[in-house]
Structure 1
Amino acid sequence: MMLPLSLLAPLLVMVGAAVPWAWLRRSAAVLSPAAVLPAVVLTLTTPTAELEVPWLLFGTVFRMDAVARPLVLIAAALYGAALAAVTWRRGPEPTLAAFLLATYLGTVGAYLAADTVAFYLSFAVLSFSAAGLVIHHRTPQAHRATVIYLVMTVLSETALLGGLLLTVDAGGALLADAPAAIAASDRSALISALLLIGFGVKAGLAPLHLWLPLAHPAAPPAASAVLSGVMVKVGIVGWLRFLPAGDSADIARLLLLLALAGAFLAVGVGLMQDDPKVILAYSTISQLGFISAVLAAGLLMPSSSGATTTAVVLYAVHHGLAKGALFLGVPVVRRHGRGVTGIPVLLGMAWAGLSLAGAPWTSGAFAKYDAKYAVADLPALAGLLPLVATGSTLLLLRLARVLWRGERATEKVDGLFGAWLLLCLLGTGLPWWIGTGWLELQPPTWDAATLWDSTWPVLLALLLAAPLTWLVGRVPAVPPGDIVVPLETAAGLLRSSGGAGLARVYTGTAQVARAWGRGWSRSAGLVRDGVAFMETRTRLWTPTGMAVLVLLAVLLLVLLFAGGWSP
């Protein structure tokens, strides 16, 4: 991690620096894609690498394992492509590169963290650094998206901090001990619920997904590629690392229910959108629902947790490359989608779309094939999951329609085009290599039954496309962010009605205060009059009392002597 930090430092320190120092910032930006090379080398050469830093925090440990290794490699590929897209062009963007490097450190740190404190620190760095990606363009849309993103992030961090503190208190300081510690804790259900919320915001779990459809259209394409392709997977990894299989079955069932709701409802909302990046954002929510459902199946059935974990990792690898290519491909299509250059662009986008839909001979078919058999012990779920591919195909058809009708762009996308092409090339073979080599999975045999299983969801989408397009044009459109709009309306009404209520409370309390003041004024006047009366009587009775005392003393002496008193 030293190389990313060494490149990040001049990008941040030189912000606003004098012109003579600007060359250092530009040079650091141009070199920033090289920051991912150590991670690439590490994943390829040292599958069990481990780093202990006993003096950092409470003793920090980073470790490569079967879950982290593929995800770190995909993160390096996507971040490298994103950094190249924003720096290898005319007018590089050092500030954007700085935030990409910061989120890269948080992402890789969370994947590799072997202790709870290091995981939380990396997660927090990732979460708050990503706000710089969302607000980058500083438009009103970006400001609104960033506000909502930060609200959801604070909610996530608060729930996560509470859950992880309870985890450590139960004996889960190391990630390897965390699931057993949570299962044995008296507060197991509470911890699992907090972790469900904390990681659910990042993983786009319905109804905590509402920041995603707003952040993607606001952020630059390169930022959207890593947001959707890599960063949201940190929430999935959090569930894999902490939630105990076989324990808190109610939490697992709730996760499964919410995952399936997001997988299917996101399709309906996404079909109503006219912005390509919003459509892709809802596609991400649907795909994350698929991944979360497979993960929940492993929590419900501990005997299959190993199979579901590898299925989740393979799907995350495939989805990261395909979705990253689609996000980077949006500006590429707008610039190079016509003419001679349109042929490779069309082929690349077609590959990414077919792969995301799970068409035969694509990495998506491999990932869906493995996921189907991983959840075979839940026949109902195994029957529902292929329909997610139908929804994905419908969203991709909507994306193609919107892109085809969209305006052509004229700005240069030189670095972006190369980054997009790299992700397309990697996506055609890398998931297969990781799945068969690193995860030791068997690829599909492509017999008639397997071909039909991967084909019929796509064919069903083609049959439904026309009637759904007709229907979507005749129903009220749902704005991006869906439930954000009624929540914002409710907040506005609460603010206005709350302000009026506060004004009424202020008026009422002011009246009470005035009445109270008048009462105390009257009471003080009575007390003052009483004191004055007593003082007057005291002045009158003082000499009289003295005379009486003198008279009594004289009478006493007379009686004593008259009575013959003697000592």
Structure 2
Amino acid sequence: MWISLALLVPALTAALIPLAGLAPRPMQGRIRRAVSVAAPIATLPAVAMTLWGSGSQVTLDWVLTGVTLAVDDVARSLVLIGALLYGAALMAVSWRKIRDSESVSGALTAFLLASYIGNIGVYLAADSVSFYLFFAIMSFSAAGLVVHYRTGAAYRATRIYLVMTVISETALLAGLIFTVQAGGKLLTDAPDAVLDSPRTGLILTLLLIGFGIKAGTVPLHVWLPLAHPAAPPAASAVLSGAMVKAGMVGFLRFFPLQEAGAELDPTIELFGTVLMVLSLLGAFAVVAIGVLQRDAKTILAYSTISQMGFIGALIAAGLLDGDLAQDTIVAAVLYAVHHGLAKGALFLGVPVIKHYGRGAAGVVVTIGMVGAGLAVAGAPITSGGIGKYVSKEAVEGLTLAGVDLYYLLPFVATGSTLLLLRFLWVVLGDEREQHSRIDGELLAWLVVCLTGIVVPWLIAAFWSPLHLPEWTDLTTVWDSTWPILLGLVVGAGCWLAYRAGWIPASTRQYPLIPAGDLVVVEEVAVRRIASDGGHALDRIHHGTTRFGQGTARAGTVLAERLRNGTDRVETSQRPWPRFGTVAVVVLTVVVVVSLMVAGGTR
């Protein structure tokens, strides 16, 4: 029952917004406004499902080829976080004073609800068909979130997002077709089906592309730094906090993570190494690009790429070492829980700082944003401290190029600290418009901040089998502290270099590397190909036209000579009555070919 309600209630709520167009015109705006205000309630059945519906399953044989949805350990935690984030996002966009006509239309609310259905559907899907269906719903509905403001930046970000989404969906569909063909219709059978398939390498490549785009895996991450600043803050919160986790879930559901004691398959070892390298590249390299950005949400987008790289490294560790697989799965989910709420609080906090960053409210806002930032960095006692601790413990003993991941992963916190310092610098320097009344923006942000403090701790304590850190142990505290201190030292050095004039002041307005990084190079290449390629195509067309005309003339001459020759042969070969018929057929073929070539040149 809970699974059905978790999907049906938001679906019916979303449907009411366009159906309001059937009402008399004076009533349409009021109906949509009322539905939008009530929309956050549509996420409550999913919250109830995670609390009281654990282990439940629904099978609908009459839908498509059969649909199965289940609340397992992975889905339970992620659905709860998704429901909290989407509920807060819906509050932020609807529980506020109407400032423009778009607020009345309910379009943003409808797209949020559609994305929410697809998002939690991906978590709940227990078969390949429903997984792909919900993944597609989520992905294409999110385009409405990115394009919402209808600015030039929003249209550009949406075009790039849709291109990457189509690539993702195409690769994913092909990979899932092969998976199902190999016997992996149910997700419980999918990893073994991928491993036993004669096309294991091809399937893993397709799935890596399909899920890697959604998860922001380098170099498939280019849509993220463009979509986040273009979208409303509430939409950015769910894009970064919940939607990118769908890519992580895809890796967990379909990649053949090794069983304890199993012999490592060479293909799996190769793809585990590839995923590990790409994930660590994303975790560290994008920090240098992110700290050069000027927009606060762009900086947070690069932080998300870095954090997803951290999670990708955990999944890769499970591919490379079966003894670590179960712990890395739990650690990845727990880290995703922490990151979803902490990053959601930061994105929702961007307009909150602008509107409530002064006076008594400013003190509360500052404390909340600093707390969320410390959580993302992994400070002791915070949810991030728990996530990073269990993650390090889960990968201990696995080496890459002779370096134990246990000692390498803490430096991700150093990069996070640098990005958050840059984020603070930019946010504090922006202009502010003080609001006197409390509205949905502030309430939604407070909800996410409070749940970000409490919920990850409760999930870690009651739903996770991993050993939690003992913060009374000074060694544990120091292990979580030194990477942040290192980031503060490096950040202070950068600030002193800026003050000394070693870093050009122009970088505050014009970043050395624009948002989207690789996509900018790709756009230049496409434009150059389009320009140079147009001239080349003209030359090719001119050449093929001349060739076609010459071929047509040669064919005509050849046909005439063949006709004259066959006349003479038939005259001299009267005893062969069928020869003329054969010759006519040959001649007809030649003439038809000649006409086709000649017609193509007109």
TM-score, shorter chain, exceeding 0.5: yes
2:140 is aligned with 1:140: no
Tell me the SS of whatever aligns to 1:445. coil
Is the counterpart of residue 68 in structure 1 residue 75 in structure 2?
yes
Match 1:511 to one of 542, 546, 549: 546
Distance 1:528 1:171, change over 3 A: closer
CA shift digits 1:356-397 (9 cap, x unpaired) = 001111110011000000001215211110000000000000
Specify the alignment match of 1:482 in structure 2: 517
Structure 2 residue 377 is matched with structure 1 residue 381: no
Answer whether contact 2:241 2:341 (CA < 8 A) is retained.
yes
Contact kept? 1:331, 1:409, Cα under 8 Å:
no
Structure 2 equivalent of residue 53 of structure 1: 60
SS at match of 1:61: strand
3-state SS of 1:14 partner: helix
Match of 2:528 in 1: 493
**Residue 455, structure 1, aligned to residue 481, structure 2:** yes
Offset, 1:440:
3.1
Partners of 1:263 and 1:12 lie apart in 2 by 41
- Give the structure 1 partner of residue 385 of structure 2: 365
Q: CA 1:22 to 1:487, structure 2 compared with 1: closer, same or farther past 3 Å?
A: same
> Once the two structures are superposed, what CA deviation does each residue of 1:265-295 show, in whole Å capped at 9, x if it has no partner?
1100000000000000000000000011011
* Map of 1:543 onto structure 2: none
Structure 2 unaligned regions, length at least 5: 1-6, 259-264, 566-602
Cα RMSD of the aligned pairs, angstroms, is: 2.2
**Separation in 1, partners of 2:564, 2:485:** 98
Is residue 105 of structure 1 aligned with residue 111 of structure 2?
A: no
Deviates more, 1:22-31 or 1:322-331: 22-31
Q: What is the 5 A alignment of 1:256-405?
A: 256-379=276-399, 380-405=404-429
- Name the residue aligned to 2:241: 229
2:569 corresponds to: none
2:444 to 408, 414, 419: 419
Partner in structure 1 of residue 49 of structure 2: 42
Q: C-alpha separation between the residues in 2 aligned to 1:524 and 1:76?
A: 75
Cα distance between partner residues in 2 of 1:222 and 1:317: 18
- Rounded to whole Å, the distance in 2 between the matches of 1:391 and 1:230 is 22
SS in 2 for 1:62: strand
Opposite residue 396 of structure 1, the aligned amino acid is L
Higher alpha-carbon Rg: 1
Look up the equivalent residue of 2:313 and give its one-letter code.
Answer: A
* 1:396-451 C-alpha deviation (Å, 9 max, x unpaired): 00000001111113577721110001101111111000011011333211211101
Structure 1: stretches of 5+ with no match in the other structure:
531-567
In structure 2, C-alpha distance between the alignment counterparts of 1:442 and 1:433, rounded to whole Å: 13
Alpha-carbon distance in structure 2 between the residues aligned to 1:184 and 1:29: 48
Per the TM alignment, residue 165 of structure 1 is displaced from its structure 2 partner at its CA by 0.5
Deviation, 1:303, is 1.3
Give every structure 1 segment of 4 or more consecutive aligned residues whose post-TM-superposition deviation is greater than 4 Å: 410-413, 513-530
1:214 paired with 2:239, answer no
Name the stretch that deviates more: 155-164 or 512-521.
512-521
Verify: 1:3 aligned to 2:4, yes or no. Answer: no
Corresponding residue for residue 459 of structure 2:
434
Q: CA deviation at 1:340?
A: 2.2
State the one-letter code of the partner of 2:269: A
Identity of aligned residues (%): 53
Q: CA separation in 2, counterparts of 1:525 and 1:16? A: 71
Three-state SS of the structure 1 residue aligned to 2:68 is strand
1:473 to partner: Cα distance = 3.0
* Cα distance in structure 2, aligned partners of 1:504 and 1:510: 10
Change over 3 Å in CA distance of 1:415–1:506 after alignment to 2: same
Change in Cα spacing, 1:505 to 1:466, as seen in structure 2 (3 Å) is same
Q: Distance in 1 between matches of 2:484 and 2:146?
A: 33
Q: Which amino acid in 1 is paired with 2:90?
A: L
Counterparts of 2:217 and 2:335, CA distance in 1? 17
Matched AA of 2:523: E
Q: Would the aligned equivalents of 2:357 and 2:434 in 1 still touch at CA under 8 Å?
A: no
- Which residue of structure 1 aligns with residue 585 of structure 2? none
Cα deviation for residue 510 of structure 1 reads 3.2
Count of paired positions: 533
CA distance in 1 between partners of 2:209 and 2:558 (Å): 58
1:473 is aligned to 2:503 = yes
Partners of 1:417 and 1:266 in 2: CA distance = 30
**Structure 1 residues 114, 526: CA separation in 2 closer, same or farther (over 3 Å shift)?**
closer
How far apart are the structure 2 equivalents of 1:315 and 1:517?
A: 69
